[in-house]
Structure 1
Amino acid sequence: MRVQNARALRANGTDAEQTLWRHLRSRQLDGHKFRRQHLIGPYIADFACIEARLVVELDGGQHAQAGAVEHDERRTQFLQDQGWHVLRFWNHEVLMELAGVLQAIAQVLNHPHPNPFPPAGEGVEQPTLSCMGRD
């Protein structure tokens, strides 16, 4: 069922999604491959660069409504817990400031986190610095 939902979302993308996809597809942004409406756990990411563990989400006005903000926060937290970096943009930002949006995405792609998370399910959990050596 989720695969069919992802296909439907790809077929019926918003103007902002279609605009951004024209610039992300076919490795156009610094050679990075993106997937559109990519399944990650229980969620469908608008755009995902698997190699960089980057998710780009586009939000319309409905994301500012009651309950939607909390849902988006839970979704972002889940993705981050799985080792993904999440960038969120409003649809109007893509439509009105496309160059800035692409620059922000490229910045993350070209300057990844200095200590990236291991792929989901791999590695050993390490204590965080804030927990080390404190009583």
Structure 2
Amino acid sequence: MRINNLNYLKERRRELRNNPTKYEELLWKRLANKKLNGIKFRRQHSLNHYIVDFYCATFKLIIEVDGEIHNKPENYDNDQIRDRELAELGYNTIRFTNRQVEFEIENVIEVIQNYIASRV
């Protein structure tokens, strides 16, 4: 069963790639073109029926950049369900807040690097 980049999500993925948040752009500058340890990341990739902010197939790693809306109870609950469903498929999710990406980008990169180093 195919779960990557399902056709019905194609237009939405394109829309999200063409209109990234400021925080997604900041992190993408550090991940694009294999800038992080030569590892390929994709942005706005879909897995199952979810579109994830960043995805590394090599390590089955999902990186999410969350704005304030994710603090609302219903959105937090949905994120937990999503992370659990993707974990059941073998994917691991690391979440960062917009604030972390904006003001602590080096720490964000270090967390990602440490995750990858623990999987090598």
Q: TM-score by structure 1 length?
A: 0.81
Q: Larger radius of gyration, structure 1 or 2?
A: 1
How many positions carry a matched residue from both structures? 113
**Structure 2 counterpart of 1:58, which letter?**
V
Task: For 1:109 and 1:84, locate their aligned partners in 2 and report how far apart those are by CA, in whole Å.
Answer: 13
Query: Secondary structure of 1:67's match?
Result: helix
Residue pairs, 1:50-69, within 5 angstroms: 50-69=57-76
1:2 positional shift: 1.1
**Structure 2 counterpart of 1:24, which letter?**
L
Name which of 92, 98, 111 aligns with 1:104: 111
Mark the runs of 5 or more structure 2 residues left unpaired by the alignment.
1-7
Aligned-pair identity (%): 34
**Residue in 2 that maps onto 1:73:** 80
Matching of residue 33 in structure 1 with residue 40 in structure 2? yes
Q: TM-score by structure 2 length?
A: 0.91
Task: For 1:94 and 1:17, locate their aligned partners in 2 and report how far apart those are by CA, in whole Å.
Answer: 8
1:94 positional shift: 0.2
**Residue in 2 that maps onto 1:94:** 101
Mark the runs of 5 or more structure 1 residues left unpaired by the alignment.
114-135
Task: For 1:31 and 1:109, locate their aligned partners in 2 and report how far apart those are by CA, in whole Å.
Answer: 12
Flag as ranges the 4+ runs of structure 1 deviating above 3 A: none
More helix by share: 2
Query: Secondary structure of 1:13's match?
Result: coil
